[in-house]
Amino acid sequence: MTDTTSENILKTPPQWKRPDEVMRMHRLKIKKQSLQCRMKGCEAPKAPETKKVEESKPSEPQKAFRNPFKKPLAGPANCSGVKRLREEDDEEDTSLDSSLFRLMGIKKQTQPPQLDLNFSNLMKKINSSDQEFLNVGSRKKRKFIPVDWTLRTRIRLMSSKPFPWNHKLKTCEEASGTTGFVRCVDTQSKSADSNCTLDTSPNARFHQCCLVWQYPSLPWLELYPRSAARRSAASTTINFNSHPNAKNALFQEWTESFRSVFQLVRAQQCPYFYLLANSFTVLFRAAGICGYSEIHAFISPTTRGLRQLLKNEDVEFSMPLKGSGNKTTSKRRSGEVDSDNVLESTQGLPSNDNDEDLEVEDDGTEEILEKLGAEASDIKKLIQSEDETMIQNEANIDGTPESLVCVQGVEAQALFNLLLNFRSTVATVGPLAGVPPTLIAPVAFHSAFLRPLKVHESKLRTKDGANYYSMEICGPILPQMIHNICDLLHVPLSEFSLTFANVESTKPFSLAHSAVQEETSDSYESPNKSCHSESNHSGISVGTRHNIPSVFGQQNLSDSGLRASVLKRFCSSKLDDVQTFDSLKFSNGVFECS
């Protein structure tokens, strides 16, 4: 009895029809109507729009039924179907639009043809002088490459001729490239071939250009760039918060490395280095770089909380990229501040949520309002409103290029002490919890890892049959690497191009050069003009720069590890010698930046 009941339940009720049966009956009905119309010699009736079914002619073979509700998959196989549907919609819209335009007496404007972005057309556009395609405005051609302090994550080299090197190194080439980089030997100079015993082949020289010093370097973590969008929790295998001994040992080793590389910059044995925290980047530069007479540092981006911390720690700074009418510098507090208490009370900085009130100089406004008969409650509300407005104005520039902070002289030493003891630079949560900031420098320092960049070479062929050679370099790209690579290329190759992937938050490091240069020239033009910046311990005004001749900077930094030709550009204080660019093109003996 149970088996009979289950069989009756499983059977489809006779009044129900399966979808395939319904569609089969529908197709048979349409075929029947078509056959009758053919016999009578009239046109077949059109099916309603809501029940359109693709039918082939009787003389043609039956096509497979296409489900109209099927979601199209991404890929070239479905491009034709999507294109056909769009063309049908365009035909309907065209008939309606043409009627409307005809009635209004307006000529319909056709859409501009879309650009075919294949590799052949792209190379033709790059090699042409079409300024609108690249959207770079005015380009300036020069015989040398300007200095750009922006950090890069990737470089792509393109050339119509083979590169003079390849990424497959021989034993002697790899050894000579590594030795030349570690010992800071200039193997690209004309006298290197005769005086140097190292291998000076293009492969060895190229390998020397693709090395960098970094600390820490943990293979299972991506520590460059320190961007939240590029971090992956799946790549973390060790949580340092659960291992306090390992966390403390790593931070202690980092403090020694930070102290070592900073002392090298102070002694002018290292031209510069970068400190990459999770939310900001610091660039320390030696005296003589870009015409600065003292050691200096830039921080970008900053927040109101971080700037307030600098003020609390008596670190004087300027903001060169802020509007000329709003240029600000920190004010020294009259009382002494306990640094330990400040660090404990500012855990979690930098952030926008610091509720400490900004200090406002007493200009006698309160006394004037009292004399005018204003009540104390109204005066308090007015002052509180002014404070809130000032706080809001300061918070509006957080994370923008205008939030760049510059410190010079002894203030750079104070900034170093603050970062050395500031535990909030180490994240407490996330994939990089317990990992100190990344230090990157062009010369060796204590506990630093010698890190090679990843190189990938490929060959591309266009539809026209032309060959293009491409090489991609991934990793921490320091400013002098671009100069070294271009010096290797411009002799054997008549034309080549470089495209960069930038760390956008470090672009203000280059923009600050022109801003400080203009401010310095203004102060020289009008020496009696009041300055917004306070004087520091050494009597030098913060926010202005005392230029020194480039020759003195080159002489003092002759042992800093930079090649003589590159050091000349890095020590120049000229406005045109520092510029931001996203790509470079070499042709006819000149460089074109964009």
pLDDT of residue 128: 52
Size (the chain), residues: 594
**To which residue do tokens 């309606």 refer?**
96
Distance (Å) of CA 414 to CA 268, 316, 499: 18, 9, 38
How many angstroms separate the CA atoms of 562 and 554, rounded?
10
Task: Supply the angle between the helices 202-209 and 479-489 in degrees, to the nearest 10.
Answer: 160
Please calculate the CA angle 487-492-497 and round it to the nearest 5 degrees: 65
Q: For residues 186 and 561, is the Cβ–Cβ distance under 8 A?
A: no
pTM value? 0.67
Q: For residues 202 and 488, is the Cβ–Cβ distance under 8 A?
A: yes
Walk along the chain (594 residues) and give the pLDDT tens digit of each residue. 545 554 554 555 566 777 888 888 888 888 888 878 777 766 555 555 444 444 444 444 555 666 666 655 544 444 444 445 444 444 444 444 555 455 555 554 444 444 454 555 545 555 554 443 334 334 578 888 999 999 999 999 999 999 988 878 899 999 999 999 999 999 887 666 566 789 989 999 999 999 999 999 988 888 999 875 455 544 445 777 778 898 899 999 999 999 999 999 999 999 999 999 989 999 999 999 999 999 999 999 999 889 999 999 999 999 999 864 344 445 433 333 333 333 333 334 444 443 433 344 445 666 776 666 676 776 676 677 666 666 776 778 898 999 999 999 999 999 999 999 887 888 888 888 889 999 999 999 999 999 999 999 998 888 788 889 999 999 999 999 999 999 999 888 989 999 999 999 999 999 998 776 655 544 434 333 333 343 333 333 444 455 677 788 888 999 999 999 999 999 998 888 999 999 999 998 899 998
* Short-list 405, 398, 417, 403, CA closest to 317: 405
Q: For residues 408 and 540, is the Cβ–Cβ distance under 8 A?
A: yes
pLDDT of residue 423: 79
pLDDT of residue 230: 53
pLDDT of residue 338: 38
**Integer-rounded Cα radius of gyration of the chain:** 34
DSSP 3-state of 216: coil
pLDDT of residue 120: 54
**To which residue do tokens 């672009």 refer?**
507
Backbone angles phi, psi at 214, to 5 degrees: -145, 145
pLDDT of residue 528: 38
pLDDT of residue 296: 96
Distance (Å) of CA 237 to CA 68, 227, 245, 503: 47, 19, 17, 26
* Short-list 150, 164, 195, 184, CA closest to 485: 164
* Short-list 578, 531, 572, CA closest to 548: 572
**To which residue do tokens 């923008």 refer?**
400
